[in-house]
A and B are shown apart, each in its own frame.
Chain A
Amino acid sequence: MASSLPTFSRALPSSSSKTSPSFIPFRSPSLKITSSASFLPSSISLSSRRASFIIPRATASSSEGSDSLAKTTFHGLCFVLKDNIDTDQIIPADKACIFPSNQQERDEIGSNALSGLPDSHKPRFVEPGEIKSKYSIIVAGENFGCGSSREHAPVCLGAAGAKAVVAQTYARIFFRNSVATGEVFPLESEVRVCDECTTGDTVTIELRDSGGLLTNHTTGKQYKLKAIGDAGPVIDAGGIFAYARKVGMIPSPSVA
């Protein structure tokens, strides 16, 4: 049966499609890798508050090799949204009957990503007639993804080609679903980045152990991003199933 949702590794701009067992982009110094983890964003996790937010200079990463840099960087045009973008705006509820069990339906759901935004909101995230968006990074305000628990929300964004979301804060179910599906990488900004970026700006996100750095090449400004926090081990493993296998909660899938 075709995989209905991609595993986490596809969300990252890795040149290789195989999952790398040694790939661990986030290792917050204060993060203890125990047999438990959570989907809580770092704004709530107290341990990550104490984590160092000193972002190493971009040049320092070149010594790590181009392979890891490719896996920890997102680059592209950004699409800017404000506060309380709910799941019905991300993917209208009547599109919920589509479930991406095959590529055709995945394309369909991707083409409808953010189609629930008011008509006055321009430009559109996906142009009419297109399947993919030209924006690979979404910048948003507070409470991104509030509303429904339907996974169609992160799925449609990923299907449309979005790689990462930088929001001020998230609604919990959306954040959890993003981590569980691996469709988009949910990152949190420290300041109101959505007020300082404009749709169409070229941005780069570099992820580091202790957080990340968002560079807006159009304005020249840089912004720190919060460390991923307790969701780290789950994302590292490649989602909840991979994580559960890693800690011995479930066996590997048996072939039918």
Chain B
Amino acid sequence: MASSVISSSPFLCKSSQAKDLGFPKPSQISVHRCQKRSISRKIVSVMAPQRSSSSTGSVKTGMTMTEKILAKAAEKSQVVPGDNIWVNVDVLMTHDVCGPGAFGIFKREFGEKAKVWDPEKIVVIPDHYIFTTDQRANRNVDIMREHCREQNIKYFYDITDLGDFRANPDYKGVCHVALAQEGHCRPGEVLLGTDSHTCTAGAFGQFATGIGNTDAGFVLGTGKILLKVPPTMRFILDGEMPSYLQAKDLILQIIGEISVAGATYKTMEFSGTTIESLTMEERMTLCNMVVEAGGKNGVIPPDATTFNYVENRTSVPFEAVYSDGNASFAADYRFDVSKLEPVVAKPHSPDNRALARECKDVKIDRVYIGSCTGGKTEDFMAAAKLLHAAGKQVKVPTFLVPATQKVWMDVYALPVPGADGKTCAQIFEEAGCDTPTSPSCGACLGGPADTYARLNEPQVCVSTTNRNFPGRMGHKEGQIYLASPYTAAASALTGHVTDPREFLQ
């Protein structure tokens, strides 16, 4: 059983209440502190008179990263979980599906002639339903073009020629990957997006979460949003990452542990030696699926890896923040990563965790490698590395959907380490995979009927995407196994759900 190899005993941090997994009540915090002071008075012979925190106004409770980011964005010196605050937004992202609705609400509420709060803080990234003949999908991109033109939006990654994505110099692709690649993700900031996987950006040590059109319309006009400060659940991952394990395995492990509602309304903070060893793209994969556990946002303390990535892509200054040593956490989970094994999420829930090796009798019909979760450069590098090591042909149709133009280019240009100078594209071709297609969200969420790699029949698919609820990729009876790129590639080679250790040693 997977759970037996994890030394994860959820224990609550010392100052929080034992049974209540909610945030500590402010009144209880001050009572706790008063008790501490009265004890110490007996020990110390000479002591200044103790004043309550409210009279001095200077005593600060330790805050978590998320609390600090939100406090700063609300121009307050201190917040605690449960506080309802108006927060200044640094970046608002929207895409083709929700952008029209968000701007529509903005105009309805602020007036037809209203102007957005800051045309340089809005990033519009068409990515969901792009390469389709669906007229309403095409209409959405046109509508966004009009809004961006009228409002002078600085960052609009437009696409006009749907026949050849390469003919569109501005077009990027999947919004969450594009945000990172274009330098819009920076430590300490508040980033909102009209997409549930906006939490991906938490990998950069910022507060990032998904909102609906109405909230987005509000932000467009004001640059602010009303938020309730979430309590933080801490996940400490230590140990050397096995060579066959990826960040996708880690997050599926965690979601399987706490369930799809295990982090509802809470922050998931990831730290530990394993986290420190992860690349930015792997950290993005980890934070990407925080929403699948119900989480409000995910966050990883920024370090040299973060700064290196960010500073290569933007010159906008930023200020990293970190959780205080005496911050209160709602829950603590510890994992010894060296003992973990590749896992999948079986149909039809992201928390339906199982060991990949225990699913080896599951016959599959296809493999899908793509999306913000598993369609980044390193995801394709990993899949290609395994295919090259195996030296075999795939047994089922294997669909490759690079997340962005840049990823697509990397797939064709970058040599895969240890593969005799071959690129991902060459390895994929030799293994019999489908040709990497135009970058977009693709079939992760089904899409219009003509979407490439959409599940139009009740087939079994191993996918590097993020959700597998009924009908997610199209057909309601489709069976989706969520997996890491390694596991997806291994499964493609055997035609069954397969542990990547079969090919990686």
Contact = CB atoms under 8 A, between A and B. Distances in A.
A184 B476 CA distance: 26
B476 A256 contact: no
A36 B86 CA distance: 8
Contact of A146 (B136, B261, B470): B261
A125 interface: no
Given A150-B212, A250-B222, A96 B264 contact: no
B25 interface: yes
Given A46-B22, A169-B261, A173-B212, 13 more contacts: A84-B349, A88-B472, A93-B472, A97-B137, A118-B470, A143-B260, A143-B294, A151-B214, A239-B214, A240-B226, A244-B218, A244-B222, A254-B114
A240 B212 CA distance: 12
30 contacts: A3-B108, A4-B101, A4-B104, A5-B214, A37-B84, A38-B84, A38-B227, A39-B228, A84-B469, A86-B467, A96-B97, A96-B98, A96-B128, A97-B134, A98-B136, A101-B104, A116-B476, A142-B261, A149-B195, A150-B212, A169-B264, A172-B265, A176-B212, A180-B212, A230-B228, A234-B226, A244-B222, A253-B109, A253-B110, A253-B111
Contacts of B137: 97
A177 B214 contact: yes
Contact of B214 (A44, A98, A180, A249): A180
Given A36-B85, A94-B447, A89 B471 contact: yes
Contacts of A24: none
Interface in B434-468: 445-449, 467
Interface string B409-451: 0000000000000000000000000000000000001111100
A171 interface: yes
Contacts of A3: 108
Contact of A143 (B97, B108, B261): B261
B20 to A, nearest CB: 8
A245 to B, nearest CB: 9
A39 B82 CA distance: 11
B68 interface: no
B210 interface: yes
Contacts of A255: 111
A99 interface: yes
Contacts of A243: 226
A230 B85 CA distance: 12
Contact of A173 (B210, B446, B476): B210
Interface string A78-116: 000000101011001110111101000000000000001
A64 interface: no
Interface of A: 1, 3-5, 34, 36-40, 44-46, 84, 86, 88-89, 92-94, 96-99, 101, 116-119, 142-143, 146-151, 169, 171-173, 176-177, 180-181, 230, 234, 239-241, 243-244, 249-250, 253-256
A46 B22 CA distance: 8
Contacts of B445: 88, 93, 148
Given A177-B214, A253-B108, A147 B196 contact: yes
Contacts of B221: 250
B111 A171 contact: no
A172 B294 contact: yes
B210 A149 contact: yes
A119 B476 contact: yes
A4 B100 CA distance: 10
Contact of A151 (B83, B101, B129, B139): B101
Interface size class of B (residues with CB under 8 A): 35 or more
Secondary structure of the A contact surface, majority rule: loop
A94 B260 contact: no
B228 A149 contact: no
Interface of B: 22, 25, 82-86, 97-98, 100-101, 104-105, 107-114, 128-129, 134, 136-137, 139-140, 194-196, 198, 210-215, 218, 221-222, 224, 226-228, 260-261, 264-265, 291, 294, 296, 349, 445-449, 467, 469-472, 474, 476-477
B212 A149 contact: yes
Contacts of A37: 84, 226
A116 B471 contact: yes
B21 to A, nearest CB: 10
A256 B261 contact: no
Nearest 6 interchain pairs by C-beta: A256-B112, A36-B84, A38-B228, A149-B210, A97-B136, A180-B214
Contacts of A117: 470
B129 to A, nearest CB: 6
Contacts of B109: 241, 253
A5 B294 CA distance: 26
Contacts of B101: 4, 99, 151
Contact of B446 (A93, A239, A250, A254): A93
B295 to A, nearest CB: 9
B265 A146 contact: no
A173 B110 CA distance: 24
Nearest to B192: A149
Contacts of A44: 22, 264-265
Contacts of B296: 172
Taking each of A3, A172, A239, A254, which has the highest tally of chain B beta carbons within 10 Å of its own beta carbon? A172
Contacts of A146: 260-261, 294
Taking each of B109, B194, B447, B449, which has the highest tally of chain A beta carbons within 10 Å of its own beta carbon? B109
A40 B214 contact: no
Nearest to B474: A94
Contacts of A177: 212, 214-215
A97 B214 CA distance: 16
B471 A143 contact: no
Contacts of B194: 149-150
Contact of B211 (A99, A173, A256): A173
Contacts of B211: 149, 173, 176
A88 B446 contact: yes
A241 B105 CA distance: 10
Taking each of B25, B129, B139, B196, which has the highest tally of chain A beta carbons within 10 Å of its own beta carbon? B196
Taking each of A40, A94, A98, A118, which has the highest tally of chain B beta carbons within 10 Å of its own beta carbon? A94
Given A97-B137, A169-B264, A254-B113, A241 B294 contact: no
Nearest to B448: A94
B258 to A, nearest CB: 12
B469 A230 contact: no
A246 B134 CA distance: 41
B469 A147 contact: yes
B226 A38 contact: yes
Contacts of A169: 261, 264
A4 B113 contact: no
Contact of A241 (B82, B218, B265, B472): B218
